[in-house]
Amino acid sequence: DVKVTQSSRYLVKRTGEKVFLECVQDMDHENMFWYRQDPGLGLRLIYFSYDVKMKEKGDIPEGYSVSREKKERFSLILESASTNQTSMYLCASSTSGTLYEQYFGPGTRLTVT
């Protein structure tokens, strides 16, 4: 079974802190994704990566950056956390090709106070 793990299930940070969210997948997938999930808005894509050291902006990249130094690991960075970044963050991975589904991690619920 594909496994996608995220470093924390719950995280509380203060405004202005730098926040790292880490995601690891164990199925040698090429593609990795970061979403945020907010009530009534569904999932919105922040960034995705289709190869090591490659990244593409999603629909809401402002205030975020990402890093992919190894194929299995994709990090989301909040350079200076703000209260409007309080959300559920979901990582996903998939193999290349549009026929293939994305596999999701359990999510990190981030609260910025």
Partner 1 sequence: AQSVTQLGSHVSVSEGALVLLRCNYSSSVPPYLFWYVQYPNQGLQLLLKYTSAATLVKGINGFEAEFKKSETSFHLTKPSAHMSDAAEYFCAVSHPNFNKFYFGSGTKLNVKP
Beta-bridge partner residues of 42: 38
Q: Which is nearer to partner 1, 16 or 106 (CB)?
A: 106
Shortest CB 60 distance to partner 1, Å: 13
Structure tokens at 63: 């205030």
Please give the angle made by the CA atoms of 88, 54 and 27, to the nearest 5 degrees: 65
The only residue of 52, 106, 111, 113 in contact with partner 1, by rule CB under 8 A: 106
Q: Which is nearer to partner 1, 71 or 109 (CB)?
A: 109
Q: Which is nearer to partner 1, 75 or 108 (CB)?
A: 108
> Can residue 22 be called a binding residue for partner 1 (CB under 8 A)?
no
Structure tokens at 6: 């995220």
Other beta carbons within 10 angstroms of residue 64's beta carbon come to 20
> Can residue 40 be called a binding residue for partner 1 (CB under 8 A)?
yes
The only residue of 1, 69, 84, 98 in contact with partner 1, by rule CB under 8 A: 98
> Can residue 25 be called a binding residue for partner 1 (CB under 8 A)?
no
Shortest CB 43 distance to partner 1, Å: 4
- Comparing CA positions, the residue from 35, 40, 31 lying closest to residue 21 is 35
Per the CB < 8 A criterion, the answer to whether 11 and 29 are in contact is: no
